Amino acid sequence: MNRVILIGNGFDLAHGLKTSYTDFIDDFWEKKLNSFIEMLRVSNFGVMLRNSKISRTAEGNYIYNDDDIKFDFINNYNNNITDDILKNYSGYEKFFFVITQFGLIQNSDSIRFNNNFLGKITKKEQLQNWVDIEEEYYLALIKCLEDKTQNEIDRLNKDFSTIQKYLEKYLRKQSASRIIKSPEIDKKIYWTPSHKKYILKDFLYLNFNYTSTEKLYVTPENKIIHIHGELNKPKNPIIFGYGDEIDNKYKLIEEKNDNKYLENIKSIKYSLTRNYREFLKFINSDSYQVYIMGHSCGISDRTLLNTLFEHDNCSLIKIFYYKKDDETDNYIDIVRNLSRNFTQKSLMRKRLIAKEDSVSLL
């Protein structure tokens, strides 16, 4: 009997790494705000610096313009802003609040997004997971099918590529943080029910993150596959995109007969390395259990997850859920997501371990 440890973003979060969508996007807008204020400080509104992102309009106002956003404002800063006021804001909300204090010219398009995809994910308040960003890309991709020109798909892919670069830069910084092994997680990785009589042979750490937190737990005989690539590893490049070939609309993308629509499809990018082949080799080798640790099982990875969960060698699926401060948890949310990865629902009911026999990751 083998075991697959399915690792998602929640595994990093459990070790104190700030790698959630909220962490990333809040940090992005915090840096954007600091950059804007610093430019105002050094330019003094008198002599604008050469190559500055701030310029003067014909009406005597000012305009800020970079690769991501653009807005008009006047030099009318409200000096009554205090740290006590700002503590009630974060991320884009904080950015917008502060720049209004500089006399942001209010109209229907106070802030225009030069990066349209950034605008979409910033304004989608319900987005909380990386998988949601990838799903948002897929929705935008489907919408591009209705476009009669190449402009929309070209712009979408360009904008999405920019977000990926921002993400990689942010995660490099986070991955440099010192983290320690959790004895509790270590114990759960190797946990076996006392009434089950079998010998665990091989472990596969199937990591969907770009970080390498799993290395705290592996032994030399364990196998690791970073299925979506790794930071700072050119031979295992980052895969950021969408992977649901089961969806009915995916066929429409292929029938478009335009490779630009397939630029960020994960199953195509898997061909860049041996990772997927090694994954298949492992699950074909013997019966196995799946331990889900920090993975939401969202549909942006449905093609791979369907292969993993419905394989004849899969014997059971055990969820290690996230327990919240208010004593609620996300077990049933993961189950709902899990169900979308099954085409044979009876298999899910047969293999999934009930909540009363499951525990939280921490």
Question: pLDDT of 40-82, one tens digit each?
Answer: 777 655 555 555 788 888 787 888 999 999 998 887 666 667 7
> What is the pairing mode between strands 288-293 and 2-7?
parallel
**In three state form, how does the secondary structure of the chain look?**
CEEEEEECHHHHHHCCCCCCHHHHHHHHHHHHHHHHHHHHHHHCCCCCCCCCCEEECCCCCEEEECCCEEEEECCCCCCCCCHHHHCCCCHHHHHHHHHHCCCECCCCCCEEECCHHHHHHHHCCCCCCHHHHHHHHHHHHHHHCCCCCCHHHHHHHHHHHHHHHHHHHHHHHHHCCCCCCCHHHHHHHCCCCCCCCCCCCCEEEEECCCCCHHHHCCCCCCEEEECCCCCCCCCCCCCCCECCCCCCCHHHHHHCCCHHHHCCEHHHHHHHCCHHHHHHHHHHHCCEEEEEECCCCCHHHHHHHHHHHHCCCEEEEEEEECECCCCCECHHHHHHHHHHCCCCHHHHHHHECCHHHCCECC
The pLDDT, as a whole number, for residue 303 is: 93
Angle at 359 between CA 202 and CA 193, to 5 degrees: 50
Domain boundaries of the chain, sorted by first residue: 2-18+175-357, 22-115
**Distance of alpha carbon 321 from alpha carbon 88, whole angstroms:** 30
**Distance of alpha carbon 73 from alpha carbon 100, whole angstroms:** 8
The pLDDT, as a whole number, for residue 95 is: 92
Contact status, residue 344 vs residue 312, Cβ threshold 8 Å: no
Contact status, residue 13 vs residue 19, Cβ threshold 8 Å: yes
- State the first-to-last Cα distance of the chain, in angstroms, to the nearest integer: 25
The pLDDT, as a whole number, for residue 105 is: 73
Its pTM stands at 0.92
Q: pLDDT by residue (tens digit) across 11-44? A: 999 999 999 998 999 999 999 999 988 887 776 5
Each residue's pLDDT, cut to its tens digit, for the chain (362 residues) gives 999 999 999 999 999 999 999 899 999 999 999 998 888 777 655 555 555 788 888 787 888 999 999 998 887 666 667 777 788 899 999 999 888 887 777 665 689 999 999 999 998 866 777 878 999 999 999 999 887 666 899 999 999 999 999 999 999 999 999 999 999 999 999 988 666 778 899 999 999 999 999 999 999 999 999 999 999 999 999 999 999 888 888 999 999 999 999 999 999 999 999 999 999 999 999 999 999 999 999 999 999 999 999 999 999 999 999 999 888 999 999 999 999 999 999 999 999 999 999 999 99
Phi, psi of 207 (to 5 degrees): -95, 120
The pLDDT, as a whole number, for residue 140 is: 93
